[in-house]
Amino acid sequence: MLLKFRFFLLLTFIAISSAACSKKQPGYSVRAVPFERVKPDDNFWAPRLMTSRTVTIPHCLKMCDETGRISNFAKAGGLQEGSYEGFHFNDSDVYKIVEGICYTLKTNTDEQLQSILNDIISKIIAAQQPNGYIHPFITLTKEDAPFANPQRHELYSMGHLLEAGAAHYETTGRRELLDSSIKLADHICELFNADNGKFNYPPEHQGIEIALCRLYKVTN
């Protein structure tokens, strides 16, 4: 499972890199070919991309469901009763599978996968608080106040949400997850403002900086 998941993340990274460079922008001296315009028909990549879509993604969804990663959002959003399950950063895996599904749907129409994606996104949005904050572990356990403990990996997980929101918008043109991401990003920027923010510690993982750059490329 771990090897499959790592391979899936590699493909997602390739897609992100290509998508980020698909339009010539400041800071990029070349324009990459959008990944959805590339149709591998060889004996190496084509079968692996097929495996990612038909085996790896369904397996990751199954594991996210069985381990409570997806239901944690439903619980945090008041859609379902129950307590938090798993590691405090479990939400990050859901965001990454959402992002991966979006890139897959950009090259392969799949109504069933689209329906699953819509359901997951609705639960993610339900778990978001009015001020933009979203972290099911803190919401459900209240073991720490928001952002009080950098070891809770809030910014790390939130970065993955911002990237998923960008990918969903670029794939579908729909704004619900993008708007949720913007609301979260505004909340983070307000709290970590260099001049008058409440927090000034560095993030525990570079994922949030990468994600904010990704979101900027989509929203300007």
CA 178-194-141 angle, to 5 degrees, is: 60
* Alpha carbons 68 and 167: distance in angstroms, whole number: 24
- What are the C-alpha distances in Å from 199 to residues 146, 177, 189? 11, 26, 10
Cβ atoms within 10 Å, residue 60:
23
The Cα 120–Cα 132 span in angstroms is 18
**Residue 200: per-residue pLDDT:** 86
Dist CA 48 CA 6 (whole Å): 13
Q: Render pLDDT for 123-156 as a digit per residue (tens, 0 to 9).
A: 999 999 999 999 999 999 999 999 999 889 999 9
Give the pair of three-digit tokens for residue 180: 């949720």
Rounded percentage of the chain residues whose pLDDT exceeds 90: 73
Return the closest-CA partner of residue 162 out of 170, 172, 152: 170
What are the tens digits of pLDDT across the range 29-60? 888 788 888 888 999 999 999 999 999 999 99
- Residue 16: pLDDT above 80? no
CB 24, CB 31: distance < 8 Å: yes
